Chain A
Amino acid sequence: MTENFLAARIHVREQPDEWRRFGERYGVQWTPTIVILDPSGTERHRIEGFLPADDFLAQLALGLAHSAFARQQFGEAERRFREVVERFPDSDAAPEALYWAGVARYKATNDPSALEQTAQAFAQKYQDSAWAKKASVWRKPPQSSGVEGQPRA
């Protein structure tokens, strides 16, 4: 995962000029903060606070997926979001990635079933996540059992 990136570190006390310049540019208020930039230097994702290694790697993968999404490369974005879910299923990044994988597929295909399928997937896992709540609006409404033309009481 880390081979996808070039990495630079700015230390608050040892590099005060760089800290001021880049801290203001990216609105950094706390350490550690890791900002994921696309090749043009545009921020695509950030990690604030310490994370264990697996969660950190999951966030890096999520950042690459968000970057592809922001550049409207929806096929690549979906692939990368699903990779987060598969490789890091227990991470906090996984439910977010599952949500955005569905959005990326919808954006690529304009097929609303991509969103319905995502809502169904959240019925199977990550039910307690905030992302499951967000996806719940995509659930297909249950079929009415009433007879057409005869309103139910």
Chain B
Amino acid sequence: MAIAWRRDVDAVLSEAKAQGRHILLDFSAAPT
């Protein structure tokens, strides 16, 4: 299961709205 997580949250929200797609917004504290 590969998910392309992005950090530019505002851009993701804008793109999702324009494309009519849902959004996964992950709040994480996992080691990076």
Interfacial residues, chain A to chain B (CB-CB below 8 A) = 2, 4-15, 18-19, 22-23, 26, 28, 31-41, 44, 53, 56-57, 60, 63-64, 67
A57 touches B1 (CB 8 A): yes
Residues of A within 8 A of B22 (CB): 4-6, 36-39, 44, 63-64, 67
Q: How many residues of B contact A (CB 8 A)?
A: 27
Q: How far is the CA of A10 from the CA of B23 in the complex (A)?
A: 13
- Known A5-B21, A8-B5; judge A41-B27 contact (CB<8 A): no
A7, A14, A18, A35, most chain B CB atoms within 10 A: A7
Residues of A within 8 A of B28 (CB): 9-12, 31-32
Majority DSSP secondary structure for residues of B touching A? mixed
Interfacial residues, chain B to chain A (CB-CB below 8 A) = 1-9, 12-13, 15-17, 19-30, 32
Residues of B within 8 A of A23 (CB): 27
A7 in complex: contacting residue of B19, B26, B30, B32, CB < 8 Å: B26
Q: List 6 A-B contacts (CB under 8 A).
A: A8-B6, A9-B7, A12-B28, A22-B9, A23-B27, A53-B1
Residues of B within 8 A of A14 (CB): 32
Residues of B within 8 A of A12 (CB): 27-29
Majority DSSP secondary structure for residues of A touching B? mixed
A15 touches B7 (CB 8 A): yes
Residues of A within 8 A of B7 (CB): 8-10, 15
